[in-house]
Structure 1
Amino acid sequence: MPHLDAPTVIRTKRDGGVLSDAAIDWVIDGYTHGRVADEQMSALLMAIFLKGMAPAEIARWTAAMVDSGERFDFTDLRRDGKPLALVDKHSTGGVGDKITIPLLPVVMACGASVPQAAGRGLGHTGGTLDKLEAIPGFTAELSKAQIRQQLRDIGAAVFAAGELAPADRKIYALRDVTGTTESLPLIASSVMSKKLAEGARSLVLDVKVGRGAFLKTEAESRELASTMVGLGNANGVPTRALLTDMNCPLGRTVGNSVEVAESLEVLAGGGPSDVVALTLALATEMLDAAGIDGADPAETLRDGSAMDCFRALVEAQGGDLSRELPIGAASETVTAPHSGFMGDLDAMGVALAAWRLGAGRAQPGEPVQFGAGVRIHRTPGEPVAAGEALFTLYTETAERLPAALAELDGAWTVGDTAPTRRPLIIDRM
Structure 2
Amino acid sequence: MICAAAIGATFLSVPPISARTPAVALATDRNALVARAQSLGATNVTGKPAPNGGTTLNGKLGGAQFALVFPAGWKGDSLLYAHGYSTPGMPIAVEADPVEKGPGGALFRAIYDQGFAVGHSAYDKAGLGVETAVRNTKRLRDFITALGGKRVYVLGDSMGGSIVVTLLELYPRAFAGGLARCGVVDSWKTLLGQLTDMRLAYTVLTRDTPYALPGERDVRLDAISSVPPAGTPDPQATAYVWTRMGQVAQPPLALWTAAQKNPDGSEARIVRQVTAIGGFDYDAASLTYPLVTTALGASDMAATAGGWIYDNRQKHYSASGMTAQEETMLNAQIQRVRAAPKATAYLTRWHEATGRINTPLITMHNRIDSLVPYAQEVAFEAKVRANGRDRFLVAYAVPPTRAPLPIGGIEGYTHCGFSPAQALAGWNALRQWVETKRKPGPDAIQ
Question: Who wins on radius of gyration, i.e. which is larger?
Answer: 2
Higher relative contact order (CA 8 A, sep 6+): 1
